[in-house]
Homo-oligomer: A and B are copies of this chain.
Amino acid sequence: MDVEQKIQKSRTKIFKAVFPNTTNHYNTLFGGTAMQLMDETAFITATRFSRQQMVTVSSDKIDFKKPIPAGTIVELDGYVTYVGNTSLKVRVDIFVEEMYTDFREKAVSGEFTFVAIGENNKPVKIL
């Protein structure tokens, strides 16, 4: 299987309903909750790509372009964008969908870098 096929196969999507218990007192999703969901999506994508132990080493600039209101549905979409020797990058987009219309738009986007680790937590080659 070549890299392009592995990227397709490891693409990872997560839907989530934005209920009041994950929103702040402005009634929109917490920035920190969005970041946590993005890191989880990126981690699963990286692991499914490499089938190796992966750890987050950094996140690049994350722009919260649109607020995500309670009573919507979000889809997180993670896909590998770069494969290096011991590290790889995963982009995660968050799309927001209204529940009772077909309206949908991109709300947040960010990129995460992971390193493959082996024995003694040392970086190892991505296979």
Seen from chain A, the residues whose Cβ lies within 8 Å of a Cβ on chain B are 12-17, 19-26, 28, 30-33, 35-41, 43-44, 47-48, 51-53, 55-64, 67, 70-71, 73, 97, 99-102, 112, 121
| Chain B residues with CB below 8 A from A112, complex form | 31
List the number of copies, as a whole number.
Answer: 6
Q: Report the minimum CB–CB distance from A45 to chain B (whole Å).
A: 9
**Contacting residue for A41 out of B15, B40, B63, B71, CB 8 A:** B15
> Taking chain A's interface residues, is the majority helix, strand, or loop, or is none over half, making it mixed?
mixed
Is the beta-carbon distance between B67 and A55 smaller than 8 angstroms? yes
Q: Report the minimum CB–CB distance from A23 to chain B (whole Å).
A: 8
**Interface-central residue, A12, A15, A71, A112, by most chain B CB under 10 Å:** A15
Is the beta-carbon distance between B63 and A58 smaller than 8 angstroms? yes
